[in-house]
A = this chain, B = another copy of it.
Amino acid sequence: MPEQQFKLHPRLAADTHWVCDWPASTVLLMNDTRFPWLVLVPRVPDVVELFQLSAQQQQAVFREIVVLGEAVQSLFGADKINTGALGNLVSQLHIHVIARFSGDCAWPGPVWGVGQVQPYAEPVLAQRLDDLRAGLPKP
């Protein structure tokens, strides 16, 4: 993939913490303790919609969506995985993979735009990033 021109959107960078780079996408943790909330950003410049990826890129990104969803459910014991590519606020293609629990503060609605973000405090953040880096498989 032509990564030389890819640059993470500043809003995504501000709202998240970097977890790791997978072959096609960068894995980010949304800075919000209310939900175990990961974001995949395909490292392809100037792509807004899934269908703008090449067939090869689509296959790699979809593989990573599935692997991340299964890992997040397993790591957090989620009741449901919510997967979404919206991009109404930040057009750079990014895919949310969120562990949902019946009874979480947005259940059964979607998480986007609901309530107030609760950022991670430092020791909890470091532990969560360690857990994710140790627990996420290689896609």
**A-side interface residues toward B, CB under 8 Å?**
48-51, 58-59, 62, 65-67, 69-70, 73, 80-89, 91, 100, 102, 107-110, 112-113
Contacts and interface: CB of A to CB of B under 8 A. Distances in A.
If over half of A's interface residues share one DSSP class (helix, strand or loop), that class is named, otherwise mixed; here it is mixed
B51 A66 contact: yes
Nearest to A70: B51
Q: Oligomeric state, in number of copies?
A: 2
B87 A84 contact: no
Nearest to A72: B51
Per CB-CB distance, the 7 closest pairs between chain A and chain B, nearest first, are: A84-B84, A88-B108, A51-B70, A62-B62, A109-B113, A83-B85, A51-B66
B82 A82 contact: no
B84 A82 contact: yes
B69 A88 contact: no
B62 A49 contact: no
Contacts of A48: 80
